[in-house]
Amino acid sequence: MQETMISLSKTKPGRGMELVHKPIPTIEDHEILIQVKAASICGTDVHIYTWDAWAANRIKLLPHTMGHELAGVVVKVGSRVKRIKLGDHVSCETHIICNECEFCRTGQGHICVNTQVLGVDRDGAFAEYIAVPADNAWVNDKSVPFEYTSIQEPLGNAVHTVLSGPVVGKSVAIVGVGPIGMLAVDVAKAAGARVVYAIDINDYRLDLARSIGADATIHSLKEDVVQRVLELTNGLGVDVVCEMSGNAKALNQSLEFVKLGGRVSILGVPTKSVEIDVAKHIVFKGIQIHGITGRRMYDTWYQVKGLIESGKLHLKELVTHVLPYTEYEEAFSLMESGQCGKIVLMFNQGEKMSVHDLKFLEDQLDELKQQGVYRKLPIVETPNDAEIILNGRKVINLSSNNYLGFANHPRLKAAAIKAIEDYGVGAGAVKTIVGNMSIHEELEDVLAKFKKEEAVLVFQSGYNCNAGVIQAITQAGDLIVSDELNHASIIDGVRLSRADKAVFKHSDMQDLERVLKEKRDKYKQVLIITDGVFSMDGDLAKLPEIVALAEEYNCLTYVDDAHGSGVLGENGRGTVDHFKLHGRIDFTIGTLSKAFGVVGGYVAGRKVMKEWLSHRARPLLFSTNLPPAVTGALIEAVKLLTDSDEATKAVWRNGNYFKAKMKEAGFEIGHSETPITPVFFKDEALTVSFSKHLLEEGVYVSPIVYPTVPKGRARVRVMVTAMHTSEQLDKAVAAFVKVRSLLIK
């Protein structure tokens, strides 16, 4: 008896589809059988799902398995197949060509006259298995998740459209930023377009286009598109138009605002004939028009591979919804609403689907293990100190941000106990509901005095602080300019904002000024964001130069001083104090979990800032306040720093001592300007192995590898604290030397 599988099939004319059992396909000698892991939804699938006039005329046989954008694992291989192997992770070229017609034989298979389309002319990919010719399979890197490799086919459409002519250094307009148009925005930016403009009628997708780098967005129902494009291009028009909408009016507008001698590449398919002025818009303008169908086989696929491997694409942002295939109705509803990017359906590879067994997470964990990046967190059995008991053994701790030793300080512990006795163990509710405890008010007051600022507002964590502040102080019509090496919490905070975004090269003041020159006049407010101390390399932001540029170009400044708070400046007042820039930085962010030894975050600045954020910072509005014990301990930490600089001096003394010893021993330690000491090995596997061997020698220091840092820049990052003794640091250096002799010949 033939085995069966679950398939999402069109069983009858009309709206919708059904989950049905069908036989698992058999394969011919030139084919492969793919166990489908992920399949994304495209516009063609929506046509078939809604059974519009196109689908009614095009789909000849029912029942019919839909879908053609897929990724999966090869489980059977035909006898004549040589290139594809069992276990390969593959995606598929949708168009199955004849390899016999003139076009196939002259390298133009994408316009083969005998093309069959998966999910249209033959059963498709919305099933647990699919059989395809081996020639149509594209082998993927196993490190790339299936939900991303499943969108390579539509990504290929975008690549074919954008790269059907030169784009480097050119202005590009993407007309219609549905899922493929959105991919085209990303491709144009990654391929080196000077500016990219996104044009659509959907606010959600215009916002998404901005978040992945569109330089400007135009709502075609609210603005005069032609006039707006000409304004943006000094009346010349754009070099390249990618028409993705299939809308007759949009096509004619594209022909109007394309530059003389420009290019219009058309992927969108109008539902009826379109009248255009050939003489005015084509002949006399001397433009090129490219009709785009499918992907060039396989030139486009190699281009897609290169773009994915470059890391320049925003696949995580563009795949906005990943759902189990049983939730297909919700998925198609989202597609019709337009409130989405790419939607991916996940399949359970031939096993009975259970949403609750979380098999999809098991699969993703297996991927991590295959990549060698899976980890089990070690267990610390003692207070965080210079030496700790880790997984049952005593080791020198060089992985902690507890710079000053406050995490186990007796005065902080006593203050925490007293706070519990006075206020209890919890704050009770969100402070906008239950109110702010007096102990929270006291913490904000002592922090403001310590930071020499008008006001401080405390958050539940430094991450929450960036997530809450950035989106609350910026809005649509503003611009955020961010250092490319800013912390992940800044990146996520920026993504939550409706403002446009730009990135400048790390600590490159010429590049920052370039961005400001190009963009400042186009926006109401411009916010420059930088880390104060960059935690991977230990270097300082060029704050004086940044402030000077901000003042010259009338911009706001925002400094995340997570690793500067408690370490730099007078008594650890931070990077702003270190550079004597009080009153010239608009927003200073800090954590209370590193040098301060507990947990939390804060923003320091003007009183009006605090008042506004109290009304608009979402983590404060929707999450309970810090526990009293935490708050009491933090007040004591601020008092300790205010009263003495002993701990701050100790961390610098130890940091300088360790660096000198490591440099003397011949290790590459970069150009850190703080106690943070990176020790570079560059090779990923060597770095991980070095860390493991150090642990065997009684030294605990974590490896930092890709994607936290770029490939080829792997290092172990040593965090020296005020608690360490010179004897402990000498032992650590000796361990480094011993492990080097074992691993590096």
Q: Which of 511, 515, 516, 471 is nearest to 489 (CA)?
A: 471
Q: What is the pLDDT of residues 49-93, one digit of tens each?
A: 999 888 888 888 888 899 999 999 999 999 999 999 999 999 999
What confidence score (pLDDT) does residue 62 get? Answer: 87
- Which of 563, 578, 661, 724 is labelled catalytic? 563
Token pair listed for 389: 């008991």
d(CA 604, CA 452): 9
d(CA 92, CA 68): 8
Average pLDDT over residues 603-616: 95
Residue 48 neighbours by CB under 8 Å, 6+ apart? 10, 17, 55, 59, 64, 66, 119, 120
Does residue 486 have a pLDDT over 50? yes
Helix (H) or strand (E) holding 420: helix 410-423
What confidence score (pLDDT) does residue 355 get? Answer: 39
Q: What is the pLDDT of residues 285-319, one digit of tens each?
A: 999 999 999 899 889 999 999 998 888 999 999 99
Q: Which of 168, 104, 701, 722 is nearest to 407 (CA)?
A: 722
Q: What is the pLDDT of residues 372-431, one digit of tens each?
A: 667 788 899 999 999 999 988 999 999 999 999 999 999 999 999 999 999 999 999 899
**Binning pLDDT at 50, 70 and 90, where does residue 588 land?**
very high
d(CA 311, CA 215): 20
Residue 604 neighbours by CB under 8 Å, 6+ apart? 447, 448, 451, 453, 455, 456, 587, 588, 589, 590
d(CA 137, CA 118): 12
What confidence score (pLDDT) does residue 485 get? Answer: 92
Inter-residue long-range contacts of 424-430, CB under 8 Å, 24+ positions, other chains counted: 424/628, 425/627, 425/628, 425/629, 426/624, 426/627, 426/628, 427/624, 427/625, 427/626, 427/627, 427/628, 428/624, 429/624, 430/620, 430/621, 430/622, 430/623, 430/624, 430/625
DSSP SS3 for 602: strand
Does the active-site annotation cover 285?
Answer: no
Sign of the torsion angle spanned by Cα atoms 310, 178, 270, 17: positive
What confidence score (pLDDT) does residue 362 get? Answer: 79
Tell me 713's DSSP state.
-
Read off φ and ψ for residue 681, nearest 5 degrees.
-120, -15
- Which of 68, 321, 594, 659 is labelled catalytic? 594
Question: Omega of the bond prior to 63 within 30 degrees of 0, cis?
Answer: yes
Does the active-site annotation cover 535?
Answer: yes
- Which of 245, 461, 497, 535 is labelled catalytic? 535
Mean of the per-residue pLDDT values for the chain?
92
- Of 367 and 686, the structure prediction assigns the larger pLDDT to 686
What confidence score (pLDDT) does residue 354 get? Answer: 40
Q: Look-up: residue for tokens 């990135």? A: 503
Average pLDDT over residues 734-745: 91
584 burial level (CB within 10 Å; 0-12, 13-18, 19+)? middle
Of 187-191, 353-357, 659-663, least confident by mean pLDDT is 353-357
What confidence score (pLDDT) does residue 563 get? Answer: 94
Does the active-site annotation cover 563?
Answer: yes
Does residue 95 have a pLDDT over 50? yes
d(CA 97, CA 100): 8
Other C-beta atoms within 10 Å of 224: how many?
Answer: 12
Does residue 152 have a pLDDT over 90? yes
Token pair listed for 98: 């004849």
What per-residue string of b and e applies to 54-88 under the rule 16 or more CB within 10 Å gives b?
Answer: ebeeebeeeebbbbbbbbbbbbbbbeebeebeeeb
- pTM for this entry: 0.56
What confidence score (pLDDT) does residue 363 get? Answer: 77
Q: Which of 202, 127, 187, 123 is nearest to 157 (CA)?
A: 187
Q: What is the pLDDT of residues 698-713, one digit of tens each?
A: 999 988 887 778 888 8
Cβ atoms of 744 and 666 within 8 Å: the answer is no
What confidence score (pLDDT) does residue 560 get? Answer: 96
Helix (H) or strand (E) holding 481: strand 479-483
Question: Over pLDDT 70: what percentage of the chain?
Answer: 98
